[in-house]
Structure 1
Amino acid sequence: MIHLTNISKQHGSQIVFSGASLQILPQTRTGLVGPNGAGKTSIFRLITGEEEADKGEISCSKKTVIGYFSQDVGEMSGCTVLEEVMSAAGDLVQLGVQMREMEAQMSEPMEDDALAELLERYGTITEIFEHRGGYDLDARAKAVLSGLGFADSDFSLPVETYSGGWKMRIALAKILTINPDVLLLDEPTNHLDIESILWLEEWLSSSYKGALLMTCHDRDFMNRIVSRIIEIANGQATTYNGNYDFYLQEREIRREQLLASYRRQQEMLAKEEDFIAKFGARASHAAQVQSRVKKLEKIERIEIPPEQRVIKFDFPVPPRSGDDVLHLKDLSKEWTTVTGELRPVFHGLTGTIRRLEKIALVGVNGAGKSTLLKIIAGQTEPTEGEVITGASVTTGYFSQHAMDILNPEHTVFEAVQESLPLENIGVIRNLLGAFLFSGDDADKRIANLSGGEKSRVVLAKLLARPLNFLILDEPTNHLDILSREVLLEALQKFEGTVLLVSHDRHFLRSLVNRVFEIDHGEMRIYEGDYDYYLRETRDE
């Protein structure tokens, strides 16, 4: 279907690919993985023609329809949500117009040859129209929008009224609606809640029949969708036939085999080089020495690729808080809309958070999860009720918008130094190194950082202080899978209390021991882990 053969690509002095090859075959479900900067986005751009390879060949049938969802959604304005989604299928709409024109022509008298030619063209266009799902285009667009969290009443609203996260959903809806032969998805779950992620899983598994190539930091999502992994690293593309968990195991096996081969080769080379050094000056061994020199020249040396760098940190041991960290007492919140109306978010929330608990706050999008975290963190006031903080509680708050409050003119070093004004340069640079900001990276301006890099800066600022109660609103959103695993391990060992919102089910399943659910303005408390919560709600 799509073949990239011996691709070489260089950005400035950085070699992205060196003779890399990969294939996208019909109906395959492939995950694209690799460290940040390895070239995953370049693969998408090469396939779509946004970039050109320096060397190599990219082959794809002209009839193949490619849909590409990227994190850069572009401008959206001047139309409703549904119109914006339908605009992606402009060519399909045009085919429908042509079909109706042909149908009108067929009803008119014409020569047999002209009719035969018209029927042939009509048959070709009808086949394409049907293959692309043209007959149910409007219904599919509405179904996709509903699955991604939009209500029917949202379809006719202007796209300008939506935030960046919701515009990302609209952009994703556009790509899914056109039903392409090849679907390229770059982090499709980044701005989705769990309900929308579950819907997307089902849609990709049951409704979509084409080929899929995607990057995704959600481990559960990858495992459920893909049956093939392509790893981009060190300028090469390596294929693994299995899901993400299989890839991790197989990669480790292959690396151990490579290391064993490397050690054997090094032992052999050492022996040969010792022989050459020992007998090189002796005329009686000249033929043997020359033979071994030539042998060494022909040997292809095994190289060990560098390990991917990951965040390395542990939370410092925090001061001990009281046994009761927090009491929520009849908490209610209302927001005032732009028209001056009061919109209730939740009411009568009551519960206690105890020391060392790891609690997940869950609920559908718009239930008020982030609002409750803001109230607990002291970022906004409740309409009624109170939050009673326990003895010796020191709170740290990571919000979805924490990256927005970083000063874009500061360097990474200055941003973290702001949280550690009394520490020396060495301590700050060690902390930054743990978060992958070493050397010149520490002097990068915040304005020039990616979303993942900004997220690491905010986490470093949070870690810098001795806190015993962490309030985390989507802390994994811009972290890759390996960084999520390191953060998960650190939180598992954290000797304090955690309250978090996350749509990463693997993260929740591996961490939390209690669940607070906000549902229709009320809170239910589940005294068990995330799997217990899922079983209970499934039964309900």
Structure 2
Amino acid sequence: DELEPIFLSCVIGVLDCGGAEFEDGEEVYDAIGGLLQGSSADCKNEDDIRDICQQINGHAASKQVLLDTPVQLSQISAECGKSAGDLGLTVDARKLEKAEAKLKQKQGRRNERDSQKTTSPLVLEEASASQASSKKDSRVDLSGKNRTYDIRIENFDVSFGERSLLQGAELSLSTGRRYGLIGRNGLGKTTLLKMLASRSLRVPAHITILHVEQEVAGDDTGALQSVLESDTVREGLLTEERLLNARIANGTAEGMETVRLSEIYAKLEEIEADKAPARASIILCGLGFSPKMQTLTTKEFSGGWRMRLALARALFTWQTTILVVSHDRNFLNAVVTDIIHLHSQRLESYRGDYENFVKTKEDRLKNQQREYEAQFQYREHIQVFIDRFRYNANRAAQVQSKLKLLEKLFPDNFEKLSPPVLQLDEVEFYYNTDQRLFTQLSVSADLESRICIVGENGAGKSTMLKLLMGELTPVNGIRHAHRNLKIGYFSQHHVDQLDLNVCSIELLLNKFPGRNEEEYRHQLGGYGITGELATRPVASLSGGQKSRVAFAQMTMPCPNFYILDEPTNHLDMETIEALAKALNKFKGGVVLVSHDERLIRLVCRELWVCEHGNVRRVEGGFDEYRDILQEQFRKEGYL
């Protein structure tokens, strides 16, 4: 039945007064149901009144009721001009006041909830894993029989929030072999490692797992303590011991807890927990950490030293099976015995190093392509094949498309600057007088420069970049920069400089206000942060995706000179190649620090070697530098 105008004329005032959006018909009923029941109209039945409230709630706002309800506006206007008595309507004033008060109260609660939403702490999506397992497997695991150190996980899924990363996947790790886990950024490599480390995926209980993060976090943890904490079994026992001793000391411990404490002491003795600090110290010493350095906090170390800390954490446990995520093809060729390729929500295994993986994969896909084309002759079927196998290592069309896109991401519509554009002249610098990093440092760069700074960890590469940028002031000497020089800087600790509590769009908006959302989305989209990725908290992105956000932020103001400190740490191989191509197309200057041999070969025509408190120039690129090192090693008897 149609909603009578006579009821509308009574409730419009209440609805307009509140101006609130109701969550459901019950809220509408709570606000005006009593008022309607107090009228002399025929809608006395409670179910009828609830139906009316549901109709009202179905519209976007209270004012829209007048337009969407099937009544004549002229009739409503005429009726509203009459008195309630003329209409034969009796309205209870107290119920009217009560309805209005209830409506305002609901609006107040809603405003309070909205306020809490804007100030509540960030809640990140969490990764989860599930797998099918048989009772037989569980019984074998619990019985302790057949204690192999091989790992085989079948038919498992991994997701991050609502996004599926792996479906029906299988993972086999044979004891003693070294596996390289590869795949494009954001597909779930790091998440898979976390699921294994947390045992969200079922790993036999007798197998100990050590999880080394992408880079040791820079915080107030001491270097030695950071290594000790990598032994989660020892740390867990020590933590439990402290808690139980505290309960015993204040008299709140129960009898079983005293027994548990004895078990903990026995276990600590079994694993020789008291010898762990000395063993960790020896490992650190072997990696170049002096006794004084071992007491420093992790945030005081450069990226190179933090990577050594990560290696020390790995060496602190005995070596068995290794599963490593890396985008460095030279490292993979030198270290791994097998490759595991994550793509299309599944895992594929290949025997051999990375080069063998590329060759085998190409041959496999060529065979698949021939078989497929033999079966299907129509163009649409061929297109299905192309779509299905677009993860081909060559992926010529896709890669070329990405390269063309990235070439545009380093805009060069700026004026040419006459040299010297950036110069350090007779610079001396030190953090303390006992450790002079540079004496009489003289270097210069212009818009044609493609320079890589190399040298041992701790030689001062990152410090030199900060001197070039003007972030550090020389103790003696002069820094000169062209007045129109605009530097874009990418830090090796770029994640520390991102606001992790906002989404990527908000991050750019806060950094570069005054533009519309489409511009921010376009900037992020150029680096692969598209769709819902751009609206997710930065903290929930993968390491590679965070790097892409940092690149988007760095390039947005259109610098004419880039200083890049380890830009490839979290980038996949395809993106590294695209970055190299983009830097070569860029018309401005480039100075970078990198351990990625391929990036150096592709981009840099000149090397600055940091050593002995100074810098020497090596022209001819990486090959020339390698020949110099080999000759030096021969003279010293190492080769």
Q: What is the TM-score when the length of structure 2 is the normalising length? A: 0.59
1:30 partner letter:
Y
Matching of residues 162-177 of structure 1 within 5 Å: 162=300, 169-170=308-309, 172-177=311-316
CA spacing shift, 1:537–1:369, aligned 2, 3 Å: same
Q: Which has the higher mean CA deviation after the structures are superposed, 391-400 or 371-380?
A: 391-400
Asked if the contact 2:584/2:603 (under 8 Å) is kept, the reply is yes
CA distance in 2, matches of 1:302, 1:377: 46
Matched with 2:136 is: none
* Match status 1:331 vs 2:416: no
CA distance in 1, matches of 2:455, 2:221: 32
CA spacing shift, 1:401–1:79, aligned 2, 3 Å: closer
Matched with 1:88 is: 231
CA distance in 1, matches of 2:160, 2:485: 49
Q: Counterpart of 1:327 in 2: which secondary structure? A: strand
Matching of residues 113-262 of structure 1 within 5 Å: 141-155=280-294, 157=295, 162=300, 169-170=308-309, 172-182=311-321, 212-262=322-372
Residue 137 (structure 1) shift = 8.1
CA distance in 2, matches of 1:302, 1:313: 23
2:351 partner letter:
N
Asked if the contact 1:415/1:457 (under 8 Å) is kept, the reply is no
Residue 607 of structure 2 is aligned with which of 515, 519, 523?
515
CA spacing shift, 1:231–1:450, aligned 2, 3 Å: closer
CA distance in 1, matches of 2:374, 2:545: 40
> Per-residue CA shift, 1:145-173, capped at 9, x if unaligned?
13434124434x26578559666644542
CA distance in 1, matches of 2:626, 2:551: 29
> Per-residue CA shift, 1:475-500, capped at 9, x if unaligned?
12232222222212211222222111
Q: Counterpart of 2:210 in 1: which secondary structure? A: strand
Give the superposed CA RMSD: 4.0
Q: Counterpart of 1:416 in 2: which secondary structure? A: helix
Asked if the contact 2:217/2:298 (under 8 Å) is kept, the reply is no
Matching of residues 37-48 of structure 1 within 5 Å: 37-48=186-197
Q: What is the TM-score when the length of structure 1 is the normalising length? A: 0.68
1:486 partner letter:
A
CA spacing shift, 1:8–1:445, aligned 2, 3 Å: closer
Residue 532 (structure 1) shift = 0.8
* Match status 1:436 vs 2:566: no
Asked if the contact 2:529/2:548 (under 8 Å) is kept, the reply is no
Matched with 1:505 is: 597
CA spacing shift, 1:170–1:422, aligned 2, 3 Å: closer
Structure 1 or 2: more strand by fraction: 1
Matched with 1:322 is: 418
CA spacing shift, 1:444–1:236, aligned 2, 3 Å: closer
Q: Identity percentage over the alignment? A: 31
Asked if the contact 1:86/1:141 (under 8 Å) is kept, the reply is no
* Match status 1:17 vs 2:166: yes
Residue 372 (structure 1) shift = 1.6
Residue 231 (structure 1) shift = 0.8
1:334 partner letter:
Y
CA distance in 1, matches of 2:603, 2:346: 35
Q: Counterpart of 2:459 in 1: which secondary structure? A: coil
* Match status 1:304 vs 2:388: yes
Matched with 2:175 is: 26
CA spacing shift, 1:303–1:89, aligned 2, 3 Å: closer
Residue 459 of structure 2 is aligned with which of 334, 351, 367?
367
Residue 537 (structure 1) shift = 2.7
Q: Counterpart of 1:329 in 2: which secondary structure? A: strand
Q: Counterpart of 2:200 in 1: which secondary structure? A: coil
Q: Which has the higher mean CA deviation after the structures are superposed, 304-313 or 428-437?
A: 304-313
Residue 382 of structure 1 is aligned with which of 458, 471, 474?
474
Q: Counterpart of 1:179 in 2: which secondary structure? A: coil
> Per-residue CA shift, 1:375-410, capped at 9, x if unaligned?
211222111111223585432222234443444455
Matched with 1:191 is: none
Residue 67 of structure 1 is aligned with which of 210, 228, 232?
210
CA distance in 1, matches of 2:604, 2:458: 22
2:199 partner letter:
E
CA distance in 2, matches of 1:522, 1:316: 33
Aligned pair count reads 434
Looking at CA atoms only, which structure, 1 or 2, has the larger radius of gyration?
A: 2
CA distance in 2, matches of 1:6, 1:302: 27
> Per-residue CA shift, 1:329-361, capped at 9, x if unaligned?
10111225xxxx664221100123244221111
> Per-residue CA shift, 1:265-298, capped at 9, x if unaligned?
3337999xxxxxxxxxxxxxxxxxxxxxxxxxxx
Asked if the contact 2:224/2:281 (under 8 Å) is kept, the reply is no
* Structure 1 stretches lacking a partner, 5+ long: 53-57, 95-128, 183-211, 272-300
1:333 partner letter:
F
Asked if the contact 2:406/2:582 (under 8 Å) is kept, the reply is yes
Matching of residues 394-409 of structure 1 within 5 Å: 394-408=486-500
CA distance in 2, matches of 1:20, 1:245: 24
> Per-residue CA shift, 1:40-68, capped at 9, x if unaligned?
3454345445213xxxxx675x6554433
Q: Which has the higher mean CA deviation after the structures are superposed, 140-149 or 342-351?
A: 140-149
Q: Counterpart of 2:327 in 1: which secondary structure? A: coil
CA distance in 2, matches of 1:251, 1:259: 12
CA distance in 1, matches of 2:572, 2:483: 36
Asked if the contact 1:89/1:177 (under 8 Å) is kept, the reply is no
Matched with 2:572 is: 480
CA distance in 2, matches of 1:464, 1:374: 21
CA distance in 2, matches of 1:372, 1:357: 16
CA spacing shift, 1:213–1:133, aligned 2, 3 Å: farther
Residue 426 (structure 1) shift = 4.1
Q: Counterpart of 1:404 in 2: which secondary structure? A: helix
1:528 partner letter:
G
Asked if the contact 1:321/1:355 (under 8 Å) is kept, the reply is yes
Q: Counterpart of 1:441 in 2: which secondary structure? A: helix
Residue 419 (structure 1) shift = 6.4
CA distance in 2, matches of 1:175, 1:268: 53
Residue 305 (structure 1) shift = 5.0
Asked if the contact 2:492/2:565 (under 8 Å) is kept, the reply is yes
CA distance in 2, matches of 1:458, 1:75: 18
2:411 partner letter:
P
CA spacing shift, 1:350–1:74, aligned 2, 3 Å: closer
CA spacing shift, 1:369–1:80, aligned 2, 3 Å: closer
CA distance in 1, matches of 2:221, 2:470: 38
Residue 457 (structure 1) shift = 1.8
Residue 221 (structure 1) shift = 0.9
